Every structure is written in C-alpha cells, then in structure tokens.
Structure 1
Amino acid sequence: MEWMAWTAPTAGFFGFIVLVLAAYTVWGIRSPSLPRKGLLPMSTTRGDRLFVGLLGSAFLHLAWVGLTDASVWVATALSLLLLVFISRWG
C-alpha cells in the first residue's frame, strides 16, 4: 500500500470494509437472506442493511470531522455502534 501513501488507520479502515464485504458474500451464499421489515421504512436484506449502515457511518464520520475537534476514534466507535444497530434492527 506504499504506492498510495496511506496511513495505517486508512489502510485498516479499507481492509475492514473488504473483510466485511467478503464475510457478507460468503454468508449470503451459504444462507441467502430474505427481505424483512425492521426500523427502516422499507423491506431490506442483510446486504441492504450493510450498505445503509456503511453510508450512515461515512456521513457520521464526515460530520464528526467537520463539526468537532474531538478524537476521530470516538466517531469510529459510534459508527460501529450505528452499523450494529442498523444490521440488527434496521
């Protein structure tokens, strides 16, 4: 990853995204997901909820960096909680 001059947190973040996508792909092949209605205003599959959770986490990070001077690790923890919440109850 040296050719892109990534920092360790950036490489870790994208590595995590790749691992989550790979895990969800294997999980989807082994156990196909049926759409269900949760807290989101539409029927969603596991992959839909992952996508919505990742988008929400990205917007949360952007807002955190833009509006506060606090540590980005707090935003990371909040993003993980948001992702788990949407995946479970979304």
Structure 2
Amino acid sequence: MDLSWMAWTLPTAVFFLTIASLLTLMTLWEFISPGGAPRTGVLRFETTRGDRLFVSLLGSAFI
C-alpha cells in the first residue's frame, strides 16, 4: 500500500496512534466492565465513559 501522497510526519502518526489506542482500550474496558456508571456532568445530562470520550474527541477536532 503506497501512502506517499500523505504527509506522515511523526506528530501526525502519534496523533492517529493515540486515537486508535484510546478506542482500542475503551473497547477492551467495556468488555471487561460493561456499562460504566452514568454521571451527570457540567452540561447537566447523563453520560457514560464512552460518551465522554466521544465528546472529548469531537471537541478536540473542533479546536
């Protein structure tokens, strides 16, 4: 597979590996301990740990 058209720098690779690692670890955590007690946060709606990760990733992408 030829990815020479992409600008794969070290920071870019670390960024994508970090996100892939987070998603993998969260998946394993969910299999080991399902559910993850919902909590009420700053915005006053209940979220699980997966919801909080998703909102964090969306917020980071927006910034």
TM-score after normalising by structure 2 = 0.79
Gaps of 5+ in 1: 61-90
Measure, in 1, the Cα distance between the counterparts of 2:27 and 2:45. 22
Residue 28 of structure 1: aligned partner: 30
**Hey, which bits of structure 1, 4+ residues long, moved more than 2 A?**
none
What letter corresponds to residue 19 of structure 1 in structure 2?
S
- Structure 1 residues 2 and 10: alpha-carbon distance in aligned structure 2, compared to 1, 3 A threshold: farther
Q: How many residues align?
A: 60
Q: CA deviation at 1:21?
A: 0.5
TM-score after normalising by structure 1 = 0.58
Residue 11 of structure 2: aligned partner: 9
Q: Which among 44, 48, 55 is matched to residue 52 of structure 1?
A: 55
Question: Is the helix fraction higher in 1 or 2?
Answer: 1
Residue 41 of structure 2: aligned partner: 38
Percent pairwise identity: 58
| Per-residue CA distance 1:11-45 (angstroms, 9 max, x = gap) | 11000000010011111111121322122331100
Gaps of 5+ in 2: none
- Structure 1 residues 58 and 52: alpha-carbon distance in aligned structure 2, compared to 1, 3 A threshold: same
